[in-house]
Copies of this chain bind each other. A is one copy, B any other.
């Protein structure tokens, strides 16, 4: 496996350095030699996506994706229709921003159960795929850790994500592999290989699984701080043909509360040593 001396595949999610407004994130990422940025919707609040897209390009960064669409299931039809419209608006935002990809947290509705939530996810994807294709934006289903099966996603394994992709069989639909969510899965390697020479892996998110976990949401670790087999999983993705960016996506109250310039240095160092 290639080592990561240079940063030409390092991307950072704006949520990782949440205290920074996106303008600051773009400037600091570029100054640090980071190659790509994934933009979270909240970072666009009150801003023109096209203008932010130009800012990113002018700084020499690639826009890797827009996070995060999805949240399709609901017990009420009207809410499901609202979700479709929200996803369509996000496709327009991605196109304006110049993001080639939207990452989807597919949603789960505890009142209807996981099986019905999964059906509604497939229906929702089928509804928005034509608009995505027309806009030149791809969609990645991100399986979320089973910890989030209550309200965030009824797609909790790579196998489920692959099955949805095969069912819908659309060139604009693929998967996002996020180490935090999938590291524990004994079928992970097989399911990464099942994606077919990397053609279906649209995104690769990295971080680490810290232990003991003190918060179910915002206690992710920097690479090297936990027990996820980060390099092994990256190796499988590359073996399957994936050639995209390595995106650092970390929700962490601990890191959000520290000086973000110092944190960015730690991210780059951890990326070089452990990613």
- Chain A contact residues, CB within 8 Å of chain B: 110-111, 113-115, 118, 145-147, 149-151, 156-157, 160, 183-186, 209, 211-216, 226-227, 229
Contacts and interface: CB of A to CB of B under 8 A. Distances in A.
Main secondary structure of the interface of A (DSSP, over half): loop
Given A110-B211, A151-B211, A211-B151, A185 B146 contact: yes
Contacts of A160: 186
Given A110-B226, A151-B212, A160-B186, 4 more contacts: A113-B227, A114-B186, A150-B211, A150-B213
Contacts of A146: 145-147, 184-185
Number of copies: 2
Nearest to A159: B186
A213 B212 CA distance: 16
Nearest to A147: B147
A119 to B, nearest CB: 12
Nearest to A232: B113
A110 B150 contact: no
Nearest to A155: B186
A115 B146 CA distance: 19
B150 A227 contact: yes
Contacts of A114: 184, 186, 229
Contacts of A211: 110, 150-151
Nearest to A118: B186
Given A151-B212, A209-B150, A110 B185 contact: no
A105 to B, nearest CB: 15
Contacts of A229: 113-114
- 5 shortest A-B CB distances, which residue pairs? A110-B227, A150-B211, A149-B184, A146-B184, A147-B147
A215 B216 CA distance: 7
A268 to B, nearest CB: 25
A157 B151 CA distance: 20
A165 B270 CA distance: 40
Nearest to A151: B211
